[in-house]
Amino acid sequence: MDAEAIKRSLEGSGLRCTPQRYAVIEFLMEHNRHPTAAEIFEAVNRVDPRSSRATTYNNLRDLVQAGLVREVAVEGRAARFDAKGMRHHHFICDRCGNVEDIEWYDVPRPASGSLGQRILRECELIFRGLCTKCATRHASR
Amino acid sequence: MDAEAIKRSLEGSGLRCTPQRYAVIEFLMEHNRHPTAAEIFEAVNRVDPRSSRATTYNNLRDLVQAGLVREVAVEGRAARFDAKGMRHHHFICDRCGNVEDIEWYDVPRPASGSLGQRILRECELIFRGLCTKCATRHASR
DNA sequence: ATGTCACATTAGATATAATCTAAATTCTTG
DNA sequence: CAAGAATTTAGATTATATCTAATGTGACAT
Ligand SMILES: [Mn+2]
Ligand SMILES: [Mn+2]
Ligand SMILES: [Zn+2]
Ligand SMILES: [Zn+2]
């Protein structure tokens, strides 16, 4: 996705395309590493230091609300973020907390009876276990 | 599950059955409200056996590690806990953050190719949207 | 029964993550 | 340009969770 397309998707969500906001979503689209807010803050300030911590958090919140970015809560660790490109599932490592993409496949929805009056927005499938690096280290001990 | 059974399941996991630890798991088994650590701390201290905040957190960590309790990370809010009784899925409300149980049904595993060298421990299915209370309030506005 | 030692608890300090505040800046629109 | 809305900012503040070092407890060997 090029600069113009990012700009359009921001404005299509009613968000101004500010340098700080653009830097956040551009960074997320270039990396599929699921960085934390702190990592994003550092990364965008390494290039051109002009975004405060509050702005980074504000923009992440706005981008999540606009549906352009996904937040992944990880137990006992800082939240992680990724740009919502192609649909995919997530694998979260028990040991190191890293979040990795897993190829998407369809998930059966619950019977409407078990949902009751609730309004379902999305089903999220999360896999847990040991990532490749931790599994290798685990085996050799 | 009665007191003796709780005691056995603790000791089966190599954990002493202390009054503080017992109070935590007993509270989680009696309530399926998915309380936060702070709520559990307050609840167990309303009755007799006193327990410090550190002990409450320590015991929750030990119980999760032993596989008797599940921790549910919720974006932007404190983690929530439940006793692992019957298998079930979770619904997390976008608006109020409440976690609710959804009847269990089997989840298809990913193709082994997309897992690579990773070691899969569990698949967790999470539903998101508006809980009954928030959906009702949402409709009437 | 007594001693020993690993396990467990405690109060308070500390660390980490995220949000809030109020003032300044930038953008958009008329 | 003027005016108002949106955005950014530094730093303070809150919320959540963990750490520390001293103390307590109980299982078990003797
Ligand atoms: Mn992802
Ligand atoms: Mn539950
Ligand atoms: Zn790992
Ligand atoms: Zn709700």
**Residue B16, CA: closest nucleotide via C1'?**
C7
Average pLDDT of the residues in A2-28: 93
Contact check, Cβ <8 Å, A121/B108: no
On chain C, which bases lie within 7 A of the protein's CB atoms? 7-13, 16-21, 27-28
Distance of CA A73 to the CA centre of its chain: 9
pLDDT score recorded for residue A15: 94
Distance of CA B4 to the CA centre of its chain: 21
Confidence of residue A138 (pLDDT cuts 50, 70, 90): confident
Residues of chain B in contact with residue A131, where contact means CB-CB under 8 angstroms, are: 118
Cβ A73 vs Cβ B73: under 8 Å: yes
pLDDT tens, residue by residue, B97-126: 999 999 999 999 999 999 999 999 999 999
- A82 has a pLDDT exceeding 90: yes
pLDDT score recorded for residue B141: 60
How many Å does it take to go from CA B2 to C1' D20? 36
Going along chain A from its start, the domains and CATH numbers come out as 3-83 (1.10.10.10), 88-139 (no CATH)
Q: Alpha-carbon distance B64 to B60, whole Å?
A: 6
* Alpha helix (H) residue ranges in A72-131: 112-115
Q: How many CA atoms lie within 13 A of A24 on its CB side?
A: 30
Quick one: which of B99, B121, B11 has its CA closest to B62? Answer: B11
Q: Which residue of B has its CA nearest to A79?
A: B75
Through-space distance between the first and last CA atoms of chain B, rounded to whole angstroms? 44
- A88 has a pLDDT exceeding 70: yes
pLDDT tens, residue by residue, B70-105: 999 999 999 999 999 899 999 999 999 999 999 999
Average pLDDT of the residues in A98-127: 95
* Alpha helix (H) residue ranges in chain A: 3-12, 19-30, 37-47, 53-65, 112-115, 132-139
> How much distance in Å is there from the Cα of B114 to the middle of ligand 1?
14
Q: Residues contacting strand D at CB < 7 A?
A: A 15-16, 18-21, 50-55, 58-59, 62, 76; B 16, 36-38, 53-54, 57, 61, 77-79
Confidence of residue A34 (pLDDT cuts 50, 70, 90): very high
Q: What is the pTM of this model?
A: 0.91
Confidence of residue A141 (pLDDT cuts 50, 70, 90): low
- A52 has a pLDDT exceeding 90: yes
Q: Which stretches of chain A sit within 8 Å of chain B by CB?
A: 71-76, 79, 89, 91, 94, 100, 102-103, 105, 107-108, 110-111, 114-132, 135-136, 138
pLDDT tens, residue by residue, B3-61: 888 999 999 999 999 999 999 999 999 998 999 999 999 999 987 768 999 999 999 99
Name the percent of chain A lying above pLDDT 70: 99
> How much distance in Å is there from the Cα of A125 to the middle of ligand 2?
16
- B135 has a pLDDT exceeding 70: yes
Which amino acid makes up residue A67? G
Token look-up 């019977």 returns A111
Residue A75 sits at φ, ψ, to 5 deg, of -55, 130
* Alpha helix (H) residue ranges in A48-139: 53-65, 112-115, 132-139
